[in-house]
Chains A and B, each alone.
Chain A
Amino acid sequence: MEKTINITLKIWRQRGPKEKGAFKEYALNDISTDSSFLEMLDILNEQLINKGEEPVVFDHDCREGICGMCSLYINGHPHGPDEDVTTCQLHMRRFNDGDVITIEPWRSAGFPVIRDLMVDRGAFDKIIQAGGYVSVNTGGVPDANAIPIPKADADEAMDSASCIGCGACVAACKNGSAMLFVSAKVSQLALLPQGRVEAASRAKAMLAKMDELGFGNCTNTGACEAECPKSVSISNIARLNREYIKAKLKD
């Protein structure tokens, strides 16, 4: 049943990538527990605008947990305290009256802050551009049913492919590693016959790009899997490592 709560927000405000940021506190009253976390921030921004202040900048778009645009490090967790959801699907019923909620941007060398809670995740695009595809042109491909694919493989590829590229894995990782993101794409394509042909070169190219862009290495803490809103499994990283070693042995 709907009820309302009063909360205090501690929000990271930062004017630009090179400027110094700081936490700012905002009191917010009578927030419906049925509202989503981002709707709560909308209410805050409406109040700030009405006071003539600049609203808090944060990324968001689809608000149904699939575009990967929303981020936010809430009370020490990427996408907040709820499990298997993105920030846009987090609802205020997860919080209590009187709570102090700390909101920060993704913090990682790979994702520089643009303003406030908005970061630049362009590095993820660059990693995909390094090899996250099957090299086929439009047209001239075989019939879709020409190659049967075992259901188990297709399902596993789908699980890997469900990554939304939000960057929570990087934000959660003490090394700032993008291994879960890279391995999800490498796994999806390595599991399917269409992607098998380039599996080795893909793993090498994407990992090299990840290193080049300043992401850290994996030390198997498992924080990425725990915080991933789409439950992408850490077993993808094991598969990536296998693909990488196989590729290196062939060199």
Chain B
Amino acid sequence: MAKTDITPEVEAQVQEAPKAAPAAKTIDSKIPEGPLAEKWTNYKSHQKLVNPANKRRLDIIVVGTGLAGGSAAASLGEMGFNVLNFCIQDSPRRAHSIAAQGGINAAKNYQNDGDSVYRLFYDTIKGGDYRAREANVHRLAEVSNSIIDQCVAQGVPFAREYGGLLDNRSFGGAQVSRTFYAKGQTGQQLLLGAYSALSRQVKKGTVKLFPRHEMLDLVVIDGRARGIIARNLVTGKIERYAAHAVVIATGGYGNTFFLSTNAMGSNGSAALQCYKKGAYFANPAFAQIHPTCIPVHGEFQSKLTLMSESLRNDGRIWVPKKKEDAEAIRAGKLKPTDIAENDRDYYLERRYPAFGNLVPRDVASRAAKERCDAGFGVGTTGLAVYLDFSSAIDRLGEDVVRARYGNLFQMYEKIVDDNPYKTPMMIYPAIHYTMGGIWVDYELSTSIPGLFAIGEANFSDHGANRLGASALMQGLADGYFVLPYTIQNYLSDQITVPRFSTDLPEFVQAEKDVNARIAKLMAVKGNRSVDSIHKELGLIMWNFVGMGRTKEGLETALEKIKEVKKEFWSNVRIPGEADTLNVELEKALRLADFIEIGRLMALDALNRNESCGGHFREEYQTEEGEALRQDDKYMYVSCWEYQGEDKEPVMYKEELKYEAIKVQQRNYKQ
């Protein structure tokens, strides 16, 4: 890998005092003054704006076309900015937001069940185990209603009641029905809505699309983000793009685990390149493990398929009460339908009577792991639990269940070759989403001026655990209703800055670095495919940085990741040439970054000596096996700063203050 340029002064400092505590950088999250509920209104009233004539003189690069990137690019284009929008897929419509199934939350209270902006805010903070920033989450809850209005106006066909009004359902971690949905394809419909708005701007000429382009580096000039280096995935050409501001909307890094519910192309490279250019990476250890995925079944497996959380509205999760029944099922001697009602352990209903099957994802995932580790798991591997619809079918009839979940049942049957109307589904937790990401302040600005991060790519709103149907909400909130405002506060003093030439030395150097990195990879000419090494990394991550983490395990992970890194850089094989379409090279570039991210995740998990949300350190649990936080020590966002190749990153703390909410242990029992 091309060595990052380090000035002699910096190098001297590092050599002199490598372990010394860094000068305590203050992390300024720029939370506006005033009462929580008025912060966003106040901010908008007083922020600086850019007038229409000046907007068209300003260029904004948006990397990613999912819910966050697509909606941001469209909205910025509508406002009159000149937008360059990049994606790695062949069309912006294929971003992985499209795969979100269940729904999107909003505090509309259309069901008259006591919902409110405060309650959505409260549920999100609590669901995130008190590790999210209050002001951001309240703003998220505030704008949630506008999202639904916007999407309906675009022609998103949300599910409706017979009276013609919008229907809702429930998701985990909430006692109200606030989730709007479009069959089991809500992400698809919302993304196509954003894509249609984006397409309209492309026609108007305000947005220019760059499909099949992958960002490989960020260009920083005089401390500000001024452009990107991208690889044209069809021609293999390395290209330079300049702008007044850069927005990263490239999603999460769940594919560090190789097997995840993410799309095959989903990656953390754009985020990692920003980190290497000085943007803080926040809470990398916070990854969400989704409880209802189709279990792993073979070594050839390329990805894991999610079964929507909405299924937990009507499906009941259980394992056999008796170990001998579980053993017989694993041996193929008994079928789940042979187990009498009294011999079934509906463990979520047993442990969490108030929320039952609709506890948050981290709680449901851990409970499944606990039962399987204790020997009650089913399936041939013993790493599966049942999700059973028989009582829903008895209560509602098969037709109603089919209308609600038909496409999910069909998907399950195609993959597993088993009919879930007749026999319960088998599910097991899998990596799904990353709450951690690029650190941003209230304005969604990273620690590099002019660089913004939105959607899953940033860290901001979900704390240590994201509630179901909140990812779509956050992506669209950032893209439609937050960034288009806050970015103007930055751009208002950029109106006199002329367009940048991509011949500036910073662009030349960045392109040189990218080319050197590619040349180094191509020169390895080893014996192993990218995927085979990625699988090795994934297994380490799952075993040691997965659902249950320990100090020893994380230390082992760090050692093993180091070995994987060495193996990768000395033994990877990339056939073909770099200056043309080369899928293996694309994968190798991403894996190089996943290895770094995996390391960062393990470091962060090792640093956080507590359990919270999806981060479960086995040393820190209550007697009942629930996550045990250490609020006096760890009520902060960990912000990691890159110090150079093979140097330990430095961690700064953004202390979290809770003013509107009383911090307590999460309780889903009563």
Taking Cβ atoms with an 8 Å cutoff, the residues of A that contact B are: 2, 32, 34-36, 38-40, 42-43, 45-46, 48-50, 52-55, 57, 59-69, 82, 84-85, 89, 91, 93, 114-115, 118, 120-122, 124-125, 128-130, 132-139, 141-145, 147-151, 154-155, 157-158, 161-162, 164-165, 188-189, 192, 194-195
Contacts and interface: CB of A to CB of B under 8 A. Distances in A.
A229 B499 CA distance: 46
A70 B576 CA distance: 23
A139 B98 contact: no
B75 A67 contact: no
B330 to A, nearest CB: 14
A105 to B, nearest CB: 13
Contacts of B209: 125
Given A49-B529, A114-B581, A138-B480, A144 B155 contact: no
B149 A66 contact: no
B581 A64 contact: no
B300 A43 contact: yes
B410 A64 contact: no
Contact of A134 (B188, B196, B411): B196
Contacts of B151: 144
B374 interface: no
A57 B158 contact: no
B581 to A, nearest CB: 5
Given A67-B94, A139-B150, 11 more contacts: A34-B298, A34-B417, A35-B300, A43-B300, A52-B573, A59-B90, A64-B411, A141-B149, A145-B110, A158-B183, A188-B155
A192 B157 contact: yes
B625 interface: no
Given A61-B264, A141-B153, A66 B199 contact: no
Contacts of A65: 411, 414
A55 B155 contact: no
Contacts of A39: 300-302
Given A55-B584, A82-B414, A42 B302 contact: yes
B186 to A, nearest CB: 11
A58 B636 CA distance: 44
Interface in B52-105: 71, 74-75, 78, 89-94, 96, 98-99
Contacts of B110: 145
Given A84-B410, A129-B199, A32 B165 contact: no
B662 interface: no
A125 B199 contact: yes
A138 B197 contact: yes
A194 B203 contact: no
B149 A42 contact: no
Interface in B399-457: 410-411, 414-415, 417
Nearest to B476: A138
Nearest to B110: A145
A213 to B, nearest CB: 14
Kindly name the residue among B90, B162, B187 whose own CB sees the greatest number of chain A CB atoms within 10 A. Answer: B90
Contact of B265 (A54, A61, A85, A124): A61
8 contacts: A125-B92, A125-B211, A128-B196, A129-B203, A132-B199, A134-B196, A151-B161, A154-B158
Contact of B75 (A40, A54, A138): A138
Given A55-B583, A134-B196, A89 B164 contact: no
Given A63-B264, A158-B182, A134 B154 contact: yes
B163 interface: yes
A135 B234 CA distance: 32
Contacts of A40: 300
Nearest to B156: A161
Contacts of A133: 154-155, 196-197, 199-200
B642 to A, nearest CB: 29
A69 B154 contact: no
A54 B581 CA distance: 11
A165 to B, nearest CB: 6
B398 interface: no
Contacts of A64: 99, 303, 305-306, 411
Kindly name the residue among A55, A114, A129 whose own CB sees the greatest number of chain B CB atoms within 10 A. Answer: A129
Contacts of A115: 581
B189 interface: yes
A192 B158 CA distance: 11
B531 interface: yes
Given A61-B263, A64-B411, A125-B92, A52 B575 contact: yes
B484 interface: yes
A61 B532 contact: no
Contact of B96 (A61, A84, A154): A61
A145 B96 contact: no
A121 B234 CA distance: 13
B157 A157 contact: yes
A57 B581 contact: yes
Shortest 4 CB-CB contacts between residues of A and residues of B: A148-B164, A133-B196, A141-B153, A158-B157
A69 B146 contact: no
Contacts of B200: 129, 133, 135
A139 B146 contact: yes
B302 A161 contact: no
B188 A66 contact: yes
B90 A62 contact: no
Given A61-B264, A64-B99, A114-B581, A49 B189 contact: no
Nearest to B75: A138
Contact of B90 (A36, A82, A120, A130): A120
Contact of A154 (B160, B192, B199): B160
A162 B264 contact: no
B155 A89 contact: no
Kindly name the residue among A48, A57, A89, A137 whose own CB sees the greatest number of chain B CB atoms within 10 A. Answer: A137
A151 B403 CA distance: 13
A161 B305 CA distance: 22
B531 A138 contact: no
A60 B587 CA distance: 13
B414 A85 contact: yes
A84 B160 CA distance: 25
B165 A69 contact: no
B481 interface: yes
B197 to A, nearest CB: 6
B195 A128 contact: yes
B481 A138 contact: yes
A161 B152 contact: no
Contacts of A120: 90
A133 B187 CA distance: 17
B165 A62 contact: no
